[in-house]
Amino acid sequence: MDIRRWILAFILPPAAVMNKEAGTIMLTGLLTLLGWLPGVVAASVMLVQEQKMKNVAA
């Protein structure tokens, strides 16, 4: 797992999901503007989901 993306998820959540679609980035940005914690949770969920998809494909 890429530790840099996890650090970004806690510091600036929208930056951690930059490889996703525009709607996902905007949703994470909106949640971050509403409160730091919802943005972190959303980014973390997306990172975990991405990791699961990689494990299934491997």
Distance (Å, whole) CA 33 – CA 52: 27
pLDDT of 17 reads: 93
DSSP string, 19-42: TS-HHHHHHHHHHHHH-HHHHHHH
pLDDT of 41 reads: 96
pLDDT of 57 reads: 83
pTM of the entire predicted model = 0.88
What residues of the chain score a pLDDT lower than 70? 1, 58
